[in-house]
Amino acid sequence: MTGLDYSVVTVALPEIGRDLGFATAGSLQWVATACLLPTASLLPLFSRLSDIIGRRRLFTLGVALFSAFSLLAAAAAGPAMLLAARVGQGASAAMIAPTAIALLTTAFPDGPRRTRALGVNGAVLSLGFVLGTLGGGVITSGLDWRWTMLFLTAIGTLVLLGAVAVLPRNDTRAPARLDVPGAVLASIGLFALVYGISTGAGGGWAGVPALGSLSLAAVSLAAFFQVERRHPAPLVPLGLLNRPTVKWSGLIGFITLGMCGGTTVLLSLYMQDVLGYSPLATGAAFLAEGTTALIGGTLAARLIAAWGKAGVMTFGLSVQGIGTGAMILLPSQDGLPLLLLTSGAMGFGHVLTVVAFITTMTSGLRDDEQGTAGGLSQLPQFLGGIGTAGLAAIVAARTEATGDTLAGLHTATLTAGAVCLAGAALAALLLRR
């Protein structure tokens, strides 16, 4: 549901702008950003709350609120009402993301069964993103953008029924009080960081909004770590954060998510601006990435059993890097066969890496730490916008220098491939033990 949300809304943005009368393309982009900001900034808070008040309870509340805010978005009469609903969806997603992982990792014992479950989870998330891109094009072409929100409401209702019927009622709860200063500083810091990245990518890094936001993020996050050192029940225990399996697998997750997310945006630009595809055709072209991601998710547990988690991270990032780097060969026309091959390789390697890094990050922990670890495993997905912004900056600079958009895309995809291969080397060096 949360994977579908971002991609289905991105495809529907032009029609939303026309129907609700958004003034500019910049203001329309807030339809996506208004959901992203609260999700990223509230993730640590709700990760810790899930350990304190119970994961089933917080997950169920998050799904119910997400469904309700999706219904509100479908009924939006103007930009303000839609943006308010999107903020609510983002806050609800911050409840769902960490508790979903924590419920999964506590339901399945550490070992092959948990790895298989995480493999299914990774495959479904990736497939949800791609199907959202395709479904958004189908819905907006044949119906109305409001049906995308009604679709999310329907899925949320089904998930809510499943949560009530299936999830175990004996929630694990930690007898601890909430670290309020840490929660406030983490939320401010992450909000400012994501806002600064979004503003800098769209309006220039030297502008006051971007510099001010990034400066506030640096100060807030530095203060957060100081508070965490002294608090008796920290929001994110530094001992957990300093575990090699947590910090190094988190770095690998940041690399794979940042480079895959950024490259996916570049491929959309390539298909629509260079090849001249419609939004619906663009969504259909992403099916290769979704199909190989599904295959990767189903194979991940077997490969981890055979090669180990570090070995699969190394292999997955290598495949992702080779597939991404090979996009430098994409032509200005008739590029579909190579596009399907390279994007398919990227999706396959990416999902293997995601399953392996989340398995590594959540292994060897107590049940009362799984909520926090679940939030940490989801954080690279939202901080991956740094990778998207960096690749977009490379495209802009190269295009300005050469006057050729395709040259900019080639340089950016080659850079993304090199970063993935560097990440594969880091996984082999830092996590092999």
Same-domain pairing of 297 and 412: yes
Average pLDDT over residues 188-202: 78
Q: What is the per-residue pLDDT for 380?
A: 81
Domain membership of residue 88 (yes or no) is yes
Domain membership of residue 122 (yes or no) is no
Alpha-carbon gap, residue 77 to 267, rounded angstroms: 33
Same-domain pairing of 385 and 258: yes
The answer to whether residues 99 and 65 touch, using CB atoms and an 8 Å cutoff, is: no
Task: State the total domains in the chain.
Answer: 3
Same-domain pairing of 342 and 421: yes
Render pLDDT for 368-382 as a digit per residue (tens, 0 to 9). Answer: 677 777 778 778 877
The answer to whether residues 256 and 90 touch, using CB atoms and an 8 Å cutoff, is: no
Average pLDDT over residues 186-202: 79
Tokens of 335: 């590029």
Alpha-carbon gap, residue 47 to 235, rounded angstroms: 9
- What percentage of the chain exceeds 70 in pLDDT? 90
The phi, psi pair for 75, rounded to 5°, reads -95, 5
* 234 DSSP 8-state letter: -
Same-domain pairing of 224 and 255: no
pLDDT at 433 over 70: no
Most confident of 176-185, 277-286, 416-425: 416-425
The span from the first CA to the last CA of the chain, in angstroms, equals: 36
pLDDT at 201 over 70: no
* 75 DSSP 8-state letter: T
Domain membership of residue 258 (yes or no) is yes
Residue where a domain stops, chosen among 145, 166, 187: 166
Same-domain pairing of 336 and 404: yes
Domain span at residue 194 reads 179-232
Same-domain pairing of 197 and 247: no
Render pLDDT for 29-81 as a digit per residue (tens, 0 to 9). Answer: 677 778 888 888 888 888 888 878 888 889 999 999 999 999 999 998 888 89
The answer to whether residues 137 and 9 touch, using CB atoms and an 8 Å cutoff, is: no
**Least-confidence region, from 153-157, 274-278, 338-342, 429-433:** 429-433
Same-domain pairing of 88 and 218: no
- CA-based max dimension of the chain: 61
Alpha-carbon gap, residue 343 to 264, rounded angstroms: 8
Tokens of 352: 């293997």
Domain membership of residue 131 (yes or no) is no
Render pLDDT for 283-304 as a digit per residue (tens, 0 to 9). Answer: 778 888 888 888 888 888 889 8
Alpha-carbon gap, residue 391 to 368, rounded angstroms: 38
Helices (H) and strands (E) in the chain, counts: 18, 0
**Least-confidence region, from 191-205, 220-234, 289-303, 337-351:** 191-205
Buried b (16+ CB within 10 A) or exposed e, 154-174: ebbeebbeebeeebeeebbbb
Same-domain pairing of 242 and 149: no
How many other C-beta atoms lie within 10 A of the C-beta of residue 195? 22
Same-domain pairing of 26 and 42: yes
Helix (H) or strand (E) holding 407: helix 405-430
Q: Is the pTM of this model over 0.75?
A: yes
Mean pLDDT across the chain: 83
Domain membership of residue 398 (yes or no) is yes
The answer to whether residues 3 and 351 touch, using CB atoms and an 8 Å cutoff, is: no
Same-domain pairing of 273 and 337: yes
Same-domain pairing of 245 and 311: yes
Same-domain pairing of 416 and 322: yes
pLDDT at 345 over 90: yes
Reported as a pLDDT band with limits 50, 70 and 90, residue 157 is very high
CATH number of the domain enclosing 395: 1.20.1250.20
pLDDT at 21 over 80: no
